[in-house]
Amino acid sequence: MRATTSPSSAPAPSLAWSLFLDVDGTLLALADTPTAVMVDDALKELLARVARSLGGALALVSGRNIDAIDRLFAPLRLPVAGLHGLERRTASGTLHTAGESRARLDPVRACLAAFVEAHPGTLLEDKGGTLALHYRLAAHFAETARRVIDAAAQALPGYHVQEGKMVLELKPAGITKATAVQAFMQEPPFRGRTPVFVGDDITDRDGLRFAEGAGGVSIAVGDRIEGQYRLADPEQVRRWLASVAALDTAGQSRN
């Protein structure tokens, strides 16, 4: 059973964790468009410290593709799952992909682009393996956007619509953030540790539920989804991550 928590509660950190972090809405405040997001040096350094504390058992699990994540966090290069698990780079640097090609989306790509052209304020984010239709700047088109992308999904067997905050994403079914975390947990340095997943949106539910089912910890950010614990916003997440990073300093002081 998921615990009832206050708007800013989180578990005491542990060196035995494998930590999985969503990016947008969890580490970073949401922006009007995906390209408007910036990562400051302080966050990069904090994540590097957390990774050292956990022996490298930290991964980013995002809806963005891996190239975009690497650009945001450069020069930091972490284990990462992109496109909700369609792409994954292990701690050793090996890249795994689900095998779905960009061409699979060609039958609907032009249709969605035409929709965006005709509906000012909407945005089509072409991630290669998925297509995300944003309506944050045109919320009055929400239902129209849903109808057009639902129709696109029906035209592509094996695909479904993943809902997020003011975004609808067309992606292959059956591959989720949970399957990405499960794969990480079978590899070093994650194997044998307790999984902890932190996320803020519907796209993170699978990862949160996997962590719970594996005897780990789920932490929801904001009030859109449920977890065993809750942090109010990305600023709360950073403060909590600082407590995880401090484990490394505490360990050194005892030696």
**Averaged over 50-54, what is the pLDDT?**
97
Closest CA to 108 of 153, 141, 68: 153
Within 10 angstroms of residue 85's Cβ, the number of other Cβ atoms is 26
What CATH class is the domain 102-172?
A: alpha beta
Q: Return the active site residues.
A: 22
Specify the range with the lowest mean pLDDT, choosing from 116-120, 172-176, 211-215: 172-176
Question: What is the predicted pLDDT for the residue at 16?
Answer: 96
Residue-wise pLDDT tens digits, 108-130 = 999 999 999 999 999 999 988 89
What does pTM read for this prediction?
A: 0.88
SS3 at position 30:
coil
- Separation CA 34–CA 145 (nearest Å): 18
User: Which pair of tokens denotes residue 101?
Assistant: 């090609």
Kindly report the average pLDDT of the chain as a whole number: 91
**Averaged over 90-112, what is the pLDDT?**
86
- Give the E-state strand segments of the chain in sequence order: 17-21, 58-61, 80-82, 87-89, 95-97, 123-126, 131-134, 159-164, 167-172, 194-199, 217-221, 229-231
User: Which pair of tokens denotes residue 82?
Assistant: 């992109």
CATH of domain 17-98+175-254: 3.40.50.1000
Would you place residue 252 in the very low, low, confident or very high pLDDT band (cuts 50, 70, 90)? very low
Question: What is the predicted pLDDT for the residue at 8?
Answer: 63
User: Domain map of the chain by residue range?
Assistant: 17-98+175-254, 102-172
